[in-house]
């Protein structure tokens, strides 16, 4: 009888342990980009792609938008996009960059253009994933980048199993609060990385100096993605600002060269005007003495007028060139100020979110402590993450081959995955590693 009680207690502990990781209130959409948001994401059937196509037309000096190709298109079951003017475009297994290049090339060929239009392709809606097995609500669910196994299971209502009725509410509170703390920690790390980038922008540095609190967690995939993405965003914005400043510097240099040229021209015209005025004075003197024809006097007057008109035009052009140089200086100042104001605004937002994050974490920690004080067994059940009562497998197609892998709570889900939740055998291992694709099954 003692063995039976021990066996029953062990089952209850296993079931309760797994529920703490599976009953998260709502899936958190991480600020980090998951595999589906990365540049090497491969498009597949049921993905919805947002497409825009432009063509630069030098004669008009404007960009022409191919409106028939603008919109959202769903990849067919055969892995193709059916587009106006272009027809069927095979996209399955290709990145959005490859699809964009192919659309431009096909449009160039079919319409007979000299150059390929520029196409922009992004995934506006990922193909769904599926949850089956021992979950409350098996079925099809919409995918979001960065989705983890535990978040996917929470969308399906979590796993189910026996539990002591008087502990259900406390267990739910403890699990929800622990999940909230984990989510808030991920958000905090992301905000710290973002704050470090903004500090580098405001300090005029060439590289982001991440805080030690973040660097000591380097090596974790999520943290490494944070560091890479914030540094890449910093580099991109710095390059954009530098390119704009270089363009304005060149415009200022050109304007100053025009100023020098026009000053030289103005000096020459002044000398010519001086000589023309002397000649006109001499002709007028001869004309009063009746020693020259009036036509010569008229010609001298016309020469003086022409030189004065050219001098006036040169003065106006010189003023315009000086204004252009001054405008380039103002634009450079405005550009730097705009980037700085944007960084200051974003930094203020980050500080507010960090303060809010700290308040929420403190509240969740207090609620968790309260639940654990009321039922000390909750702390043991919630902390015992090594022996879940269920195993979760992901069925996935990798390069046309089917794989089935045992996964853990924090492994990432990809579009099209099928999550299978099965009761874990007492002698079966729990999931501790990330997905490692299995070899393709042998043909029958």
CA–CA gap between residue 324 and residue 337 (Å, rounded): 20
Q: How far is CA 151 from the centre of its chain?
A: 22
pLDDT digits (tens, 9 = 90+) for 306-334: 878 888 888 888 888 888 888 888 888 88
Query: In which band, very low, low, confident or very high, does the pLDDT at 393 lie, cut at 50, 70 and 90?
Result: very high
Q: Which of 148, 201, 179 is nearest to 24 (CA)?
A: 179
Query: Average pLDDT in the 423-428 region?
Result: 60
SS3 track for 351-389: HHHHHHHHHHHHHHHHHHHHHHHHCHHHHHHHHCCCCCC
Residues 202 and 343 sit within 8 Å (Cβ to Cβ): yes
pLDDT tens column, 13-66: 443 333 333 333 323 323 333 344 445 788 888 899 999 988 877 777 777 788
pLDDT at res. 24? 32
Place of tokens 């609500």: 137
- Check residues 102 and 302 and name the one with the higher pLDDT: 102
Exposed, middle or buried by CB within 10 Å (0-12, 13-18, 19+), for 246?
exposed
Per mean pLDDT, which range of 108-122, 250-264, 366-380 is the poorest?
Answer: 366-380
Segment 394-416 mean pLDDT:
87
Does an H or E element contain 404, and which?
A: strand 401-407
Question: CA 199 to CA 192: how far, in whole Å?
Answer: 10
Question: What gap in Å lies between CA 379 and CA 381, rounded to an integer?
Answer: 6
**CA dist., res. 346 & res. 335, Å (int):** 17
pLDDT of residue 388: 54
- Could you count the other beta carbons within 10 Å of the beta carbon of residue 350? 20
Tokens of 303: 């020469």
- Model confidence at 442: pLDDT above 60: no
CA nearest to 133, candidates 390, 383, 376, 309: 390
More confident residue, 383 or 270: 270
Reported as a single tens digit per residue, the pLDDT across 337-360 is 888 888 888 889 998 988 998 888
pTM of the model: 0.38
State the pLDDT confidence band at 137, using cuts at 50, 70 and 90: confident
Q: Where are the beta strands (DSSP E) in 184-327?
A: none
Residue identified by tokens 């304007």 is 255
Pairing of strands 418-423, 129-133: parallel
> Average of pLDDT values for 74-98?
89
Answer yes or no: are the C-beta atoms of 69 and 107 closer than 8 Å. yes
Residue-level pLDDT at 167: 55
Under the banding of pLDDT at 50, 70 and 90, the label for residue 264 is confident
Residue 131 pLDDT greater than 90, yes or no: yes
- Distances in Å between the Cα of 203 and the Cα atoms of 33, 42, 62, 231, 339 are 27, 39, 38, 15, 12
pLDDT of residue 385: 45
Half-sphere exposure of 300 (CA within 13 A, CB side): 20
Confidence of residue 129 (pLDDT cuts 50, 70, 90): very high
CA dist., res. 28 & res. 153, Å (int): 12
DSSP string, 288-331: HTT-S-HHHHHHHHHHHHHHHHHHHHHHHHHHHHHHHHHHHHHH
Q: Whole-number mean pLDDT of the chain? A: 77
Write the DSSP symbol of residue 97: H
Q: Which two tokens stand for residue 264?
A: 């030289």
Tokens of 148: 């983890």
Which is higher by pLDDT, 112 or 360? 360
């Amino acid at each position: 009888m003692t063995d039976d009680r021990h066996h029953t207690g062990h089952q209850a502990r296993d079931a309760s342990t797994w529920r703490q990781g599976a009953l998260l209130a709502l899936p958190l959409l991480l600020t980090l980009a998951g595999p589906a948001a990365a540049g090497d994401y491969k498009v597949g059937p049921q993905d919805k792609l947002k497409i825009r196509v432009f063509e630069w037309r030098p004669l008009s000096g404007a960009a022409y938008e191919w409106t028939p190709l603008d919109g959202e298109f769903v990849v067919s079951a055969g892995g193709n996009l059916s587009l106006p003017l272009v027809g069927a475009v095979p996209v399955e297994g290709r990145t959005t960059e490859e699809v964009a290049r192919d659309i431009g090339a096909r449009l160039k060929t079919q319409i007979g253009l000299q150059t390929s239009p520029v196409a922009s392709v992004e995934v506006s809606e990922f193909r769904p994933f599926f949850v089956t097995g021992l979950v409350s609500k098996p079925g099809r669910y919409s995918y979001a980048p960065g989705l983890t196994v535990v978040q996917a299971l929470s969308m399906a209502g979590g796993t189910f199993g026996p539990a002591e009725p008087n502990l259900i509410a406390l267990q739910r509170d403890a699990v929800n609060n622990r999940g909230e703390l984990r989510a808030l920690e991920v958000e905090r790390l992301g905000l710290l990385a973002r704050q470090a980038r903004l500090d580098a922008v405001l300090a005029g540095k060439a590289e982001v100096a991440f805080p030690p609190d973040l660097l000591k967690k380097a090596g974790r995939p999520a943290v490494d993605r944070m560091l890479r993405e914030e540094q890449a965003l910093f580099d991109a914005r710095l390059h954009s600002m530098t390119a704009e400043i270089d363009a304005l510097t060149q415009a200022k240099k050109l304007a100053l060269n025009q100023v020098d040229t026009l000053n030289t021209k103005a000096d020459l015209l002044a000398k010519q005007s001086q000589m023309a005025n002397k000649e006109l004075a001499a002709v007028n003197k001869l004309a009063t003495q009746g020693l020259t024809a009036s036509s010569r006097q008229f010609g001298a007057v016309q020469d003086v007028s022409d030189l004065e008109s050219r001098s006036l035009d040169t003065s106006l052009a010189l003023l315009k060139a000086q204004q252009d140089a001054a405008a380039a200086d103002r634009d450079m100042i405005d550009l730097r100020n705009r980037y700085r104001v944007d960084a200051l605004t974003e930094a203020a937002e980050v500080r507010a979110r960090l303060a809010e994050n700290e308040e929420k974490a403190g509240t969740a920690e207090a609620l968790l402590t309260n639940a654990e004080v009321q039922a000390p067994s909750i702390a043991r059940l919630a902390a015992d993450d090594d022996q879940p009562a269920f195993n979760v497998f992901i069925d996935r197609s990798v390069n046309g081959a089917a794989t089935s892998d045992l996964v853990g709570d924090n492994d990432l889900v990809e579009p099209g995955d099928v999550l299978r939740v099965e009761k874990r055998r007492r002698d079966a291992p729990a999931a501790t590693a990330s997905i490692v694709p299995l070899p393709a099954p042998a043909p029958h």
